[in-house]
Chains A and B, each alone.
Chain A
Amino acid sequence: MHSILAVDDSASMRQMVSFTLKSAGYKVTEAVDGQDAYDKAAMGGFDLVLTDQNMPNLDGIGLTRKLRDHPNFKTTPILILTTESSDQMKQAGRAAGATGWLVKPFDPVRLIEVIRKVVR
Chain B
Amino acid sequence: MSDMSTDSAGAGIDLSQFYAVFFEEAGENLDRMEQLLLAIDVTAADDEELNAIFRCAHSIKGGAATFGFADVAELTHQMETLLDKLRRHELQATPAMVDVLLQSGDALRSQLGRHQGAGGEVVDTTELLANIRAFTSGKAPVAAAAQPQPAEGLVSVPAAPVAVAAAPAVDDDVPVTLSGERILELTLGPLDKPELAASIVELFKEIEGLGTIEPIDGGMAQEGMRRFRVTTGSSDADLLDLFGFHVAREQCVLRPFAGERVAPGYGFHPGAPGSPVQEECKGYGFFDDAPGAPGSAPAAAAPAPAAAKPTAKPAEKAPAAALEAATIRVSVEKVDQLINLMGELVITQAMLAQNSRSIDPVLYQSMVSGLTALDRNTRDLQEAVMSIRMIPMQTVFSRFPRMLRDLASKLGKKVELVTVGEATELDKGLVEKITDPLTHLVRNSCDHGIELPAERLAKGKPETGTITLAASHQGGSIVIEVKDDGKGLSREKLIKKARERGIDAPDTMSDADVWALIFAPGFSTAEVVTDVSGRGVGMDVVKKNIAALGGTVEIDSAEGYGMRVAVRLPLTLAIMDGMSVGVGEEVYILPLSSVVESFQVGENIVKTIGGNGRVVEVREEFMPVLELERLFEVPRHGDESPGGIMVVIEAEGGRVALLVDELLGQQQVVVKNLEANYRKVDDISGATIMGDGRVALILDVGSLVRRSRH
Give the B-binding residues of A (Cβ under 8 A).
Answer: 1-3, 5, 9-13, 15-16, 18-25, 27-30, 32, 40, 43-48, 52, 54-56, 68, 71-79, 83, 85-87, 90, 93-94, 97-106, 108-112, 114, 116-120
Contact = CB atoms under 8 A, between A and B. Distances in A.
A23 B539 CA distance: 58
Interface of B: 1-3, 5-6, 8-11, 13, 15, 17-18, 21-22, 24-25, 52, 54-55, 58-59, 61-63, 65-67, 147, 149, 151-156, 222, 264-269, 272-276, 282-287, 290-294, 303, 305-308, 310-311, 313-324
Given A3-B316, A25-B3, A16 B15 contact: yes
19 contacts: A11-B324, A18-B321, A24-B6, A25-B2, A44-B313, A45-B317, A75-B305, A76-B310, A77-B292, A85-B156, A87-B147, A93-B287, A94-B269, A94-B272, A99-B293, A104-B62, A117-B286, A118-B286, A118-B293
B291 to A, nearest CB: 5
Given A43-B318, A87-B152, A48 B292 contact: yes
B156 A105 contact: yes
B272 A43 contact: no
Contact of A13 (B24, B62, B320, B321): B62
Given A106-B266, A110-B266, A120 B307 contact: yes
Contacts of B62: 10, 13, 52, 83, 104-105
A73 B291 CA distance: 8
A86 B153 CA distance: 8
B11 A109 contact: yes
A9 B59 CA distance: 8
A32 B66 CA distance: 18
Contacts of A56: 52, 55
Nearest to B21: A12
B323 to A, nearest CB: 6
B9 A110 contact: no
Nearest to A24: B9
A18 B512 CA distance: 61
B290 A97 contact: yes
A87 B275 CA distance: 18
Contact of B285 (A18, A45, A100): A100
Contacts of A55: 55
B154 A85 contact: yes
A77 B61 contact: no
B150 to A, nearest CB: 10
Given A83-B62, A108-B11, A100 B268 contact: yes
Contact of B307 (A30, A47, A102, A110): A47
B316 A30 contact: no
B321 A102 contact: no
Given A24-B9, A109-B11, A99 B265 contact: no
Contacts of A97: 272-273, 290-291
Chain A CB within 10 Å, residue with most, of B156, B274, B303, B315: B274
B61 A83 contact: yes
B239 to A, nearest CB: 20
Contact of B291 (A43, A74, A90): A74
A28 to B, nearest CB: 7
B284 A45 contact: no
Contacts of B65: 83, 104-105
A13 B286 contact: no
A58 B10 CA distance: 29
**Of A32, A79, A85, A103, which is in contact with the most chain B CB atoms at under 10 Å from its CB?**
A103
Given A16-B15, A94-B269, A98-B272, A103 B310 contact: no
Contacts of B58: 54, 83
Nearest to B80: A83
Contacts of A75: 273-274, 291-292, 303, 305-306, 310-311
Nearest to A31: B322
* Candidate in B2, B22, B303 with the most chain A CB atoms within 10 angstroms: B22
Contacts of A23: 5, 8-10, 13
Nearest to A89: B153
A45 B13 contact: no
Contacts of B287: 93-94, 98-100
A38 to B, nearest CB: 14
Contacts of B18: 12, 15-16, 19
Contacts of B285: 90, 100-101
A54 to B, nearest CB: 5
Nearest to B146: A86
B314 A44 contact: yes
Given A23-B13, A98-B272, 14 more contacts: A11-B324, A28-B321, A40-B319, A45-B314, A52-B62, A75-B310, A76-B273, A83-B61, A99-B290, A101-B266, A102-B283, A103-B265, A105-B65, A120-B294
A5 B58 CA distance: 22
B10 A108 contact: yes
A19 B8 CA distance: 13
B319 A43 contact: yes
Given A24-B6, A106-B283, A110-B266, A117 B276 contact: yes
Nearest to B303: A75
Given A54-B55, A78-B292, A45 B1 contact: no
Contacts of B59: 9-10, 54
A30 B55 CA distance: 20
B324 A1 contact: no
Contact of B284 (A18, A32, A78, A101): A101
B268 A110 contact: no
Contacts of A47: 307, 310
B269 A100 contact: yes
B9 A112 contact: yes
